[in-house]
Amino acid sequence: MSSASKETALVTGASSGIGAIYAERLAARGYDLILVARNQERLAVLAKHLTDQYGRKVEVIVADLTGDGLAKVEAILKQNASISLLVNNAGIGAAAPLLASDVDKMEELIAINVRAPMRLAYAAAPGFVERGGGAIINIGSIVGVAPEILNGVYGGTKAFVLALSLSLHKELADKKVRVQAVLPGATATELWERAGLPISNLPAEIVMNAEDMVDAALAGFDQGELVTIPSLPDVADWDAYEAARQKLMPNLSRNTPASRYRQTAAA
């Protein structure tokens, strides 16, 4: 690998799990990195490893994206013209049923899973357009299309990530800005423990290791996919789902109710 940089990637939630693996893979591809997370010690260890292993320039930003740290990262995305890739990975999960969940914790979940990726995408996109290219990778979840599986608020936040990605793609594709939504299934990371459902409680056949997940996601990115579901065996199934969604479009808004909703005249 040449030491010449392919510009800079900013990765959120980079101190462990999926974010740390993205950082490793992107460093191997020649990107300099800006790593964002709350855990300074872990970030420092990862940054040193990436610099020693790949000779990349690595900047560490300690920031809580539910608080003032979000504005700090937004400013970096707006001001640093070397950034060409944003990986919106930071997020938290929830496994408990809605009625058994703390509503304040659900609000925190929305802040990190919805507000943060939205604001960071808004911060990055104008510069990408102005510079003639860039890419945004949004890490969602299969619960974005299957919210019945886990906590409903968590599913709702990941549905937002998918919807935002689809809309951004439509708006930015002709401006040479790539968007990819990655929808992993159960992935072996610390998220599950933090959500109160240790990964060991899940059937092994549905859990993918994080390295395989990220490698599949990057393969999907290289293939130009808008939506990547790393565990989906047959992409034709997603294509059929998307074709059915597109078929709905012309009839979702009309000036008369569907015939099945028209009241019949009283006899």
Q: Would you place residue 262 in the very low, low, confident or very high pLDDT band (cuts 50, 70, 90)?
A: confident
Residue 49 counted as domain residue? yes
Residue 195 counted as domain residue? yes
Residue 28: which domain range?
8-261
Q: Which of 122, 154, 241, 261 is catalytic?
A: 154
pLDDT at residue 129 tops 50: yes
Q: In whole angstroms, how far apart are CA 235 and each of 134, 209, 227, 229?
A: 25, 20, 10, 9
Q: Would you place residue 3 in the very low, low, confident or very high pLDDT band (cuts 50, 70, 90)?
A: very low
Residue 1 counted as domain residue? no
Q: How far apart are CA 36 and CA 59, in angstroms?
A: 9
CATH code, domain with 208: 3.40.50.720
The predicted-structure confidence for 141-192, as pLDDT tens digits, reads as follows: 999 999 998 889 999 999 999 999 999 999 999 999 999 999 998 887 766 5
Residue 267 counted as domain residue? no
Residue 120 counted as domain residue? yes
Q: Are 117 and 138 in contact (CB under 8 A)?
A: yes
Average pLDDT value for residue range 225-231: 97
Residue 2 counted as domain residue? no
The predicted-structure confidence for 89-98, as pLDDT tens digits, reads as follows: 999 888 788 8
Q: How far apart are CA 37 and CA 69, in angstroms?
A: 9
| pTM to 2 decimal places | 0.92
Q: Would you place residue 207 in the very low, low, confident or very high pLDDT band (cuts 50, 70, 90)?
A: confident
Q: In whole angstroms, how far apart are CA 172 and each of 92, 128, 178, 242?
A: 27, 10, 7, 19
pLDDT at residue 195 tops 70: no
Q: Would you place residue 25 in the very low, low, confident or very high pLDDT band (cuts 50, 70, 90)?
A: very high
3-state secondary structure of 61: strand
Q: How far apart are CA 248 and CA 254, in angstroms?
A: 12
pLDDT at residue 57 tops 60: yes
pLDDT at residue 1 tops 70: no
The predicted-structure confidence for 248-258, as pLDDT tens digits, reads as follows: 999 999 999 99
Residue 225 counted as domain residue? yes
Among 72, 171, 73, 71, residue whose Cα is nearest residue 129: 171
Q: How far apart are CA 217 and CA 201, in angstroms?
A: 25
Residue 74 counted as domain residue? yes
What average pLDDT does the structure give for the chain?
A: 92
Average pLDDT value for residue range 240-246: 97
- Does the active-site annotation cover 122? no
More confident residue, 5 or 110: 110
Token duo for residue 72: 């700090």
Provide the number of structural domains found in the chain. 1
Average pLDDT value for residue range 7-11: 97
